[in-house]
């Protein structure tokens, strides 16, 4: 099949690799324009562009997707189908109808749940125990197209969004392969819009800890808000990022602490009070300007005391 592939981040790489391995005629790669990255703001190629170059495939990185000349170039590929995996832009209708089989999207949720930009993150944040991948025929709405195939998978109790996204990227590649192999036989299914939930772009402030939440809700946010915006609070006036934490349910523990207050530091553990009489055990932490460390090193170095408060009035 003659295919134009549109994707940018690492999550899209397994799908592109699968298309190449399956012998499809990938005639063009579309990726977001190169941007400065890291210290020194050096221009860095996206993972999809890097794979395209290594595979000898032509790469297109239009700055203005709606420009007439960009659409003309897109049509000129004369592909059978566009495959879109985390491209990073909403495609105008003219792109979706440019080829005989339209455009297929690999979306990292079980639609209609978690339509939007960050489905993996919000599934974890909201405490879901299961997620998956959907292939769908793209239409003019936001992830509202007809469903082709789906594959579900459990979310590990300590799996963070980075780990889950990596795993789903390979699930998605296999599902895409199956979708293309059975495309003529698959009957598209309309989504039930009444069951739709949304996964909007995350904001920096979303990561601020609200200590009135339960330990489970806070630990889910720690897992879900990675790599951005991370989950953070303050300690002695400095930003404190929490990288790993789990609910603390030790029946022998008799500590009492207000939400956000340290309940125990015995043996290098860092136990913090949360809402509804619950406690969270912080495992990995990073003080502003310092490296990421385990709780024991933090306790030994900073000497936090019981009843000391984390966070300001906002959390």
Residue 290 has pLDDT above 80, yes or no: yes
The enclosing domain of 262 has a CATH number of: 3.10.25.10
Apex 196 CA angle, 194 and 199, nearest 5: 160
pTM, rounded to two decimals: 0.94
67 and 116 share a domain?
A: yes
Domain finish residue from 166, 195, 224: 195
Residue 227 has pLDDT above 90, yes or no: yes
Query: Is 314 part of any domain?
Result: no
Rounded mean pLDDT, 14-41: 91
Q: What is the pLDDT of residues 115-169, one digit of tens each?
A: 999 999 999 999 999 999 999 999 999 999 999 999 999 999 999 999 999 999 9
88 and 70 share a domain?
A: yes
Residue 315 has pLDDT above 60, yes or no: no
Mean pLDDT of the chain: 95
Query: Is 311 part of any domain?
Result: no
108 and 165 share a domain?
A: yes
Query: Is 308 part of any domain?
Result: no
Q: What is the pLDDT of residues 231-265, one digit of tens each?
A: 999 999 999 999 999 999 876 777 778 999 999 99
Query: Is 236 part of any domain?
Result: yes
DSSP state string for the chain = -EEEEEE-SGGGHHHHHHHHHTT-EEEEEE-PPPEEETTTTEEE--HHHHHHHHTT--EE--S-TTSHHHHHHHHHT--SEEEEES-SSPPPHHHHTSSTT-EEEEESS-TTTTBSS-HHHHHHHTT-SEEEEEEEE--SSSS-SPEEEEEEEEPPTT--HHHHHHHHHHHHHHHHHHHHHTTTT---B---GGG--B-PPP-GGGGB--TTS-HHHHHHHHHHSTTTT-EEEEETTEEEEEEEEEEE--TT------TTBEEE-GGG-EEEE-GGG-EEEEEEEEETTS--EEHHHHHHHH---TTPBPS-TT-
Residue 41, pLDDT score: 73
Domain finish residue from 142, 161, 195: 195
CB–CB of 62/32 below 8 Å?
A: no
Residue 273, pLDDT score: 96
Instruction: Give the structural domain span for 129.
Output: 2-195
Q: What is the pLDDT of residues 206-219, one digit of tens each?
A: 999 999 999 999 99
Residue 313 has pLDDT above 70, yes or no: no
């Amino acid at each position: 099949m003659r295919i134009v592939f549109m994707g940018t981040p690492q999550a899209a790489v397994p799908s592109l690799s699968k298309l190449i391995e399956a012998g499809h005629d990938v005639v063009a790669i579309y990726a977001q324009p190169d941007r400065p990255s890291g210290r020194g703001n050096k221009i860095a190629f996206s993972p999809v562009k890097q794979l395209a170059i290594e595979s000898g495939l032509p790469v297109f990185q239009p700055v203005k997707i709606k420009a007439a000349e960009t659409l003309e170039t897109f049509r000129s590929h004369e592909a059978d189908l566009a495959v879109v995996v985390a491209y990073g832009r909403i495609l105008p209708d003219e792109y979706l109808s440019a080829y005989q089989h339209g455009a297929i999207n690999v979306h990292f949720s079980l639609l209609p749940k978690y339509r939007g930009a960050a489905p993996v993150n919000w599934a974890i944040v909201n405490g879901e125990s299961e997620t998956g991948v959907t292939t769908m025929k793209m239409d003019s709405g936001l992830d509202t197209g007809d469903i082709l195939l789906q594959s579900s998978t459990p979310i590990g109790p300590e799996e963070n969004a980075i780990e889950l996204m990596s795993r789903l990227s390979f699930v998605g590649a296999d599902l895409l392969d199956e979708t293309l192999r059975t495309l003529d036989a698959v009957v598209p299914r309309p989504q039930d819009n009444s069951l739709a939930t949304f996964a909007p772009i995350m904001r920096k402030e979303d990561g601020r800890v609200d200590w009135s939440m339960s330990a489970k809700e806070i630990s889910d946010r720690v897992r879900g808000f990675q790599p951005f915006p991370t989950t953070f609070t303050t300690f002695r006036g400095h930003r404190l990022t929490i990288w790993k934490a789990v609910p603390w349910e030790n029946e022998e523990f008799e500590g009492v602490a207000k939400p956000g207050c340290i309940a125990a530091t015995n043996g290098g553990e860092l136990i913090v009070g949360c809402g509804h009489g619950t406690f969270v055990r912080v495992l990995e932490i990073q003080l502003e300007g310092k490296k990421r460390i385990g709780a024991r090193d933090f306790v030994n170095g900073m000497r936090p005391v019981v009843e000391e408060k984390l966070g300001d009035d906002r959390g």
